[in-house]
Amino acid sequence: MGRFELQMTADAVNALMLRAFPDAHADAMAKVVDLAPGRATLVRRYGEGMLRPGGLISGPNLMGLADTGAYALILAHVGEQLMAVTSQLTMNFLRGAKPGDLHAEAELLHLGRRSAVCDVRIWTESPDRLAAQANVTYALPLPKGAS
Amino acid sequence: MGRFELQMTADAVNALMLRAFPDAHADAMAKVVDLAPGRATLVRRYGEGMLRPGGLISGPNLMGLADTGAYALILAHVGEQLMAVTSQLTMNFLRGAKPGDLHAEAELLHLGRRSAVCDVRIWTESPDRLAAQANVTYALPLPKGAS
Amino acid sequence: MGRFELQMTADAVNALMLRAFPDAHADAMAKVVDLAPGRATLVRRYGEGMLRPGGLISGPNLMGLADTGAYALILAHVGEQLMAVTSQLTMNFLRGAKPGDLHAEAELLHLGRRSAVCDVRIWTESPDRLAAQANVTYALPLPKGAS
Amino acid sequence: MGRFELQMTADAVNALMLRAFPDAHADAMAKVVDLAPGRATLVRRYGEGMLRPGGLISGPNLMGLADTGAYALILAHVGEQLMAVTSQLTMNFLRGAKPGDLHAEAELLHLGRRSAVCDVRIWTESPDRLAAQANVTYALPLPKGAS
């Protein structure tokens, strides 16, 4: 739609996130697998530690992925700006997330000077069977010298 | 995507909403102008009473439209079931809504037995310049015979 | 608790809001009836136009009051700064709001340089029977010359 | 205020949660340290794995505690009913959470037949310096015999 412009490639975003979280196992990090203006798709590989009693993927894993997905998408549009911080995350849990690789589709709803808002949808089985939907707001640092 | 099935036409939903809100002026009601499985587009005609100081459309008007849009979309999928009630509404105000007809695009994220969750996007200028985005959850009445 | 400091009295906040919304009938405006550091109580007098079908107070009236309550409380702490704008409002509808004067108790959760977050609880019958609870985030204008 | 009634003691809730999460280290579980009708206080002991880059406690740890705090509080009021599931969680990140034991104060806003809504406030330094505030909604299982 022409309203958003990418500043980084998917590879550059993935490399930046690995540098930002040096203690994380590369396997345990969500990875951007597709990137377009205003949209990113991420995959986080399934691991057994992700389950909660009942055999479904736990809420904190889903919330962490929503947050990471929004962060990656915003980085891709603002460039190497690691200081963005989450100010709000609203998560709707829609159905139990069956074990499997987690997919997240993140969409930029608004990118302002001071904040960015994303919509993130998460599933394991199929995008027609969403496990969760989130809205995530990041506060952006003011550019140096800005008023 | 085949996962949602319409139970009513746009005309039938509009007629139902007018009966449900007999005191509302037909002009002041949002109207479904497009309807497909899982999605509805509504328009609410601009009126001067909708402005707040500063010359932008007021928050309650935007929130009311988000709520109505979700309600119309849910009705279209569950049939003549007026008893659905809003249990939660989260609204992100993305930019000032300039005076003009209000457009809402509502999408069904989940339709369960007990609740339904919608995403609603609202604009006056253009869908590329969203004024607001909302998530709306409705509680659905239990079928007869359930306690 | 000493962490918030009032900049205005309840009377001054009420007068400021009447000036800010010159077209509103004074009767229809919520009014601050109690104010302390970090907390404000507002009352909005009942009027018949506030009902929705079913004889309960409508959602937009409750959402409008949550927004106004947060705005009044923030003004009281930042002074005559009319430019604060709502960036997010999350409303939980807890039970039907029976006809009657609307009461709102607003609490400041955080007041930063760039934003303020409030919790607002709304009832008509009794504070033990909440009709709704909201979280409201306002974006604050940057002071002149701030970086 | 007399509107909520406890069904379990803090010790019973803690024991129930340890049985529900058998793989969790007892140390890593949040523990109810104070319980009253409508309110619970929990503490989760600090551990190094809880930090994110920058030396603050990570978002998923805060969100997990908000969820656990709401769950414990609801259990205490509905009895040994493990099947409650989170349907919605909204988290406001108010300031960076400095390393230290995490404290959560959970308050029941509404306990209905079908759902329960809690407010949860989280801090490490002091309750006057909240790190985060959450609203958490749980769906409650229908009583036996309901369809």
Q: What is the DSSP letter of A126?
A: B
Q: Are B50 and B61 spatial neighbours (Cβ–Cβ below 8 Å)?
A: yes
In chain B, the residue whose alpha carbon lies closest to the alpha carbon of C96 is B85
Closest CA to A115 of D93, C107, D133: D93
Q: Note whether B89 contacts C: Cβ–Cβ < 8 A.
A: yes
**Residues paired with residue C106 on neighbouring β-strands, in sequence order:** C40, C120
User: Counting every residue, how long is chain D?
Assistant: 147
Residue whose structure tokens are 């803690």 = D14
- Gap between the Cα atoms of A73 and A121, Å rounded: 13
Instruction: Give me the percent of chain B exceeding a pLDDT of 90.
Output: 73
The burial class, CB within 10 Å (0-12 / 13-18 / 19+), for B51 is: middle
Q: Note whether C109 contacts D: Cβ–Cβ < 8 A.
A: yes
In chain D, the residue whose alpha carbon lies closest to the alpha carbon of B142 is D147
Neighbours of chain A (3+ CB pairs under 8 A): B, C, D
- Count CA within 13 A, CB hemisphere, residue A85: 17
In chain B, the residue whose alpha carbon lies closest to the alpha carbon of D143 is B147
According to the model, what pLDDT value does residue D2 have? 58
Residues 125-144 of A with CB under 8 A from B: 127-130, 133, 135, 137
- With an 8 Å Cβ cutoff, are A115 and C87 in contact? yes
User: Any residues with CB less than 8 A from the CB of C146 and at least 6 apart, and which?
Assistant: A147, C113
- Give the 3-state secondary structure of residue C70: helix
Among B88, B139, B143, the residue with its CB nearest the CB of D147 is B143
How open is the CA angle C52-B88-B82, to the nearest 5 degrees?
45
According to the model, what pLDDT value does residue C147 have? 41
What is chain A's percent helix, strand, coil content, to nearest 5?
25, 35, 40
- With an 8 Å Cβ cutoff, are C89 and B90 in contact? yes
Among D88, D142, D145, the residue with its CB nearest the CB of B137 is D88
Q: Note whether A105 contacts B: Cβ–Cβ < 8 A.
A: no
In chain C, the residue whose alpha carbon lies closest to the alpha carbon of B133 is C88
- Gap between the Cα atoms of C20 and B84, Å rounded: 36
According to the model, what pLDDT value does residue A144 have? 55
Q: Note whether B90 contacts A: Cβ–Cβ < 8 A.
A: yes
Neighbours of chain D (3+ CB pairs under 8 A): A, B, C
In chain B, the residue whose alpha carbon lies closest to the alpha carbon of A94 is B110
Per-residue pLDDT of chain A (147 residues; tens, 9 = 90+): 458 999 999 999 999 988 887 766 666 789 999 999 999 999 999 987 888 878 899 998 999 999 999 999 999 999 987 788 999 999 999 999 999 999 999 999 999 989 999 999 999 999 999 999 999 999 998 765 444
User: Which of C61, C92, C115, C133 to mutate against chain B (most B CBs within 10 Å)?
Assistant: C92
Q: What is the DSSP letter of C55?
A: T
Angle formed by the axes of helices B59-78 and C59-78, to 10°? Answer: 150
According to the model, what pLDDT value does residue B127 have? 95
- Gap between the Cα atoms of B138 and B32, Å rounded: 18
- Residue C143 binned pLDDT confidence (cut-offs 50, 70, 90): low
According to the model, what pLDDT value does residue C26 have? 67
Alpha helices in C42-122 (DSSP H): 59-78
> Which positions in chain B touch A121 (Cβ < 8 Å)?
109
Instruction: Give me the percent of chain A exceeding a pLDDT of 70.
Output: 90
Q: Note whether A86 contacts D: Cβ–Cβ < 8 A.
A: yes
Distances in Å between the alpha carbon of C87 and those of A81, B32, D107, D112?
23, 27, 25, 30
- Give the 3-state secondary structure of residue A17: helix
In chain B, the residue whose alpha carbon lies closest to the alpha carbon of C92 is B88
> Which positions in chain D touch A64 (Cβ < 8 Å)?
59-60
Regarding an ipTM greater than 0.85, the answer is yes
Q: Are B134 and B73 spatial neighbours (Cβ–Cβ below 8 Å)?
A: no
Q: Are D138 and D85 spatial neighbours (Cβ–Cβ below 8 Å)?
A: yes
- Gap between the Cα atoms of B67 and B64, Å rounded: 5
Q: Are A2 and B128 spatial neighbours (Cβ–Cβ below 8 Å)?
A: yes
**Residues paired with residue A110 on neighbouring β-strands, in sequence order:** A117
User: Which of B92, B122, B135, B136 to mutate against chain C (most C CBs within 10 Å)?
Assistant: B92
- Gap between the Cα atoms of D4 and D37, Å rounded: 5
User: Counting every residue, how long is chain A?
Assistant: 147
- With an 8 Å Cβ cutoff, are A89 and D59 in contact? yes
What pTM value is reported for the model? 0.92
According to the model, what pLDDT value does residue B28 have? 75
Q: Are D52 and A67 spatial neighbours (Cβ–Cβ below 8 Å)?
A: no
- With an 8 Å Cβ cutoff, are B59 and C67 in contact? yes
Digit-coded pLDDT (tens) for D2-54: 589 999 999 999 999 888 877 666 667 899 999 999 999 999 999 878 888 78
Digit-coded pLDDT (tens) for D64-77: 999 999 999 999 99
3-state SS, chain B, equals CCCCCCCCCHHHHHHHHHHHCCCCCHHHCCEEEEEECCEEEEEECCCHHHEECCCEECHHHHHHHHHHHHHHHHHHHHCCCCCCEEEEEEEEECCCCCCCCEEEEEEEEEECCCEEEEEEEEECCECCECCEEEEEEEECCCCCCCC
Among D90, D110, D135, the residue with its CB nearest the CB of C95 is D110
